[in-house]
């Protein structure tokens, strides 16, 4: 298995090089050269596997024999031993037609742990193999930073620096990042917005000498390892339902920001998992829902919502889907992305829009609807949804037909977004691991949002 760029200007590369490259050198995104096709028989065999066994089988298809199976098994086992639930990602039945896939049982109570626990161990493995130190640099609006830090704290051969906008992340998110005392972690709290943090990172990565000298690596969701790790729970959830005798028409509803999580579902489906429908749920930042419903990809005005991890206007994984939509035609993808850069929009022809609508249904959930859904499910079923999960559930309520079964992906534990949940007078008890954060000392450095300042901090830290 080799990896190629959506823009076609990178020589096919192996698995480890693809992980290290992050963003493709031609500005595109890396994708597997061909997708493995799973037979019904293989799917049957996989149906009884534990999460860890299944993850090992899925990764084996993608690592290109670059990691011996015993090493890969250890990477997988180490990555998921930190989860608090024995099923890693259990499904919880809400009613006849709806299940919630709980992806929040990892160390930071958000679904990003599923991929970043693995990526952290993988980076550490690569660092040992190559005998070189890996420096990870990233910006976060909350969940990614906490999850990435948990993935690598205390690990040999890795240093991580995360930028977050000062006092613009939730209290729990801030504590998760800043109460870590390992010396390989640096938190910079930047005076400015998330966009400022993102821009600084982009510019530092664009400084090729600096990037190469310090072996700078990225952790954002354009890394193909994150997508591959996320395909596993679609298989696992499907099998859990099939094992309960629920074999008919299973759909997935996915709260979406950067198009990463739902793209993983699309890959699982393309590999042969018979997913009925993929429901794409957005909040009021609904560029992706408008794309699916109208064929126009064009950012709107930024809206603040109760689901801040989905407050995204330009979805960084969208280009991967375009590549598949255009049958792997890298030249067309390149010109569409150039057009997007110049004109700020992409329009697709009618017959391709039909394809898109066969691949996805989409719905955008407004702020009021999000809180109503949290309240309704709490009152009716005694189940507390976080605001991101509530968007997925609301979309499923709108789009699933009678008699269909939907699995709504739950991307965060409600305790992470208590500020929003309290608006409906719902009180919750924090899990002890979150409660304990409030008593720990914080380590963060508040800095100006300039490239020079960040570079100065990095040079001291590296
Ligand atoms: C990151 C995140 C999302 C969006 O995931 P994408 O892969 O960007 O679509 C949804 N919910 C939560 C809680 C997240 O942290």
Mutate to test the pocket of ligand 1, among 108, 111, 283, 292 (most ligand atoms within 8 A of CB): 111
In DSSP terms, 318 is beta-bridged to: none
Alpha-carbon distance of 117 to 59, in angstroms, equals 14
Is 90 exceeded by the pLDDT of residue 398? yes
Is 90 exceeded by the pLDDT of residue 220? no
> Looking at residue 203, what is its pLDDT?
86
From the CB of 236, is ligand 1 less than 6 Å away? no
Q: Is 66 exposed, middle or buried (0-12, 13-18, 19+ CB in 10 A)?
A: middle
What structural domains does the chain harbor? 91-108+226-424 (3.40.50.1100)
Alpha-carbon distance of 210 to 355, in angstroms, equals 43
Is 90 exceeded by the pLDDT of residue 152? yes
Query: pLDDT tier at 266 (50, 70, 90 boundaries)?
Result: very high
Give the number of the atom of ligand 1 that is nearest the alpha carbon of residue 143: 15
Is 90 exceeded by the pLDDT of residue 224? yes
> Looking at residue 462, what is its pLDDT?
87
From the CB of 113, is ligand 1 less than 6 Å away? no
Q: Average pLDDT in the 66-81 region?
A: 98
pTM of the shown model: 0.95
Question: Taking all residues of the chain, what is their mean pLDDT, rounded to a whole number?
Answer: 95
Chain segment 284-313, per-residue pLDDT in tens? 999 999 999 999 999 999 898 999 889 888
> Looking at residue 23, what is its pLDDT?
83
Alpha-carbon distance of 18 to 30, in angstroms, equals 7
Is 70 exceeded by the pLDDT of residue 247? no
Is 90 exceeded by the pLDDT of residue 324? yes
Which element (helix H / strand E) includes 363?
A: strand 360-364
Is 80 exceeded by the pLDDT of residue 399? yes
Q: How far, in Å, from the CA of 132 to the mean position of ligand 1?
A: 31
From the CB of 410, is ligand 1 less than 6 Å away? no
Which element (helix H / strand E) includes 267?
A: helix 260-270
Q: Average pLDDT in the 357-363 region?
A: 98
> Looking at residue 92, what is its pLDDT?
97
Q: How far, in Å, from the CA of 388 to the mean position of ligand 1?
A: 8
Chain segment 381-397, per-residue pLDDT in tens? 999 999 999 999 999 99
Query: pLDDT tier at 209 (50, 70, 90 boundaries)?
Result: confident
């Amino acid at each position: 298995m080799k990896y190629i760029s959506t823009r076609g200007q990178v020589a096919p590369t192996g698995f480890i090089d693809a992980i290290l490259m992050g963003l493709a050198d031609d500005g595109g995104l890396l994708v597997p050269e061909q997708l493995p096709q799973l037979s019904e028989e293989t799917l049957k065999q996989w149906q009884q596997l534990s999460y860890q066994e299944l993850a090992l089988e899925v990764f084996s298809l993608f690592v290109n024999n670059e990691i011996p199976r015993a090493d890969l098994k250890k990477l997988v086992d180490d990555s998921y031993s930190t989860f608090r639930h024995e099923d890693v990602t259990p499904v919880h039945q809400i009613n006849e037609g709806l299940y919630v896939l709980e992806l929040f049982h990892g160390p930071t109570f958000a679904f990003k742990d599923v991929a970043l626990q693995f990526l952290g161990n993988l980076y550490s493995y690569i660092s040992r193999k190559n005998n070189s130190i890996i420096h990870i640099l990233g910006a976060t609006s909350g969940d990614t930073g906490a999850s990435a830090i948990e993935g690598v704290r205390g690990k040999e051969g890795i240093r991580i620096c995360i930028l977050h906008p000062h006092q613009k992340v939730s209290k729990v998110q801030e504590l998760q990042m800043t109460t870590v005392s390992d010396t390989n972690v640096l938190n910079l709290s930047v005076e400015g917005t998330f966009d400022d943090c993102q821009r600084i990172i982009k510019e530092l990565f664009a400084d090729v000498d600096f990037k190469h000298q310090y072996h700078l690596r990225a952790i954002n969701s354009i890394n193909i390892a994150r997508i591959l790790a996320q395909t596993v729970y679609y298989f696992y959830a499907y099998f859990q339902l099939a094992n309960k005798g629920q074999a008919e028409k299973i759909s997935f509803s996915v709260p979406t920001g950067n198009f990463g999580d739902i793209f993983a579902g699309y890959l699982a489906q393309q590999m042969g998992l018979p997913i009925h429908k993929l429901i794409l749920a957005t909040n009021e930042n609904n560029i992706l829902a408008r794309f699916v419903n109208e064929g126009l990809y064009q950012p709107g005005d930024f809206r603040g919502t109760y689901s801040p991890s989905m407050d995204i206007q330009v979805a960084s994984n969208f280009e991967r889907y375009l590549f598949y939509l255009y049958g792997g035609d890298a030249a067309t993808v390149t010109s569409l992305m150039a057009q997007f850069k110049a004109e700020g929009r992409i329009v697709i022809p009618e017959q391709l829009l039909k394809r898109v609508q066969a691949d996805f249904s989409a719905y955008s959930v407004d702020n009021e609807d999000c809180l109503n859904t949290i309240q309704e499910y709490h009152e009716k079923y005694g189940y507390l949804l976080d605001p991101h999960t509530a968007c997925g559930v609301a979309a499923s309520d709108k789009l699933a037909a009678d008699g269909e079964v939907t699995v709504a992906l739950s991307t965060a534990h409600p305790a992470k977004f208590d500020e929003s949940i309290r608006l409906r007078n719902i009180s919750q008890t924090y899990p002890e691991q979150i409660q304990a954060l409030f008593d720990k000392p914080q380590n963060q450095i508040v800095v100006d949002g300039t490239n020079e300042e960040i570079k100065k901090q990095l040079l001291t830290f590296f």
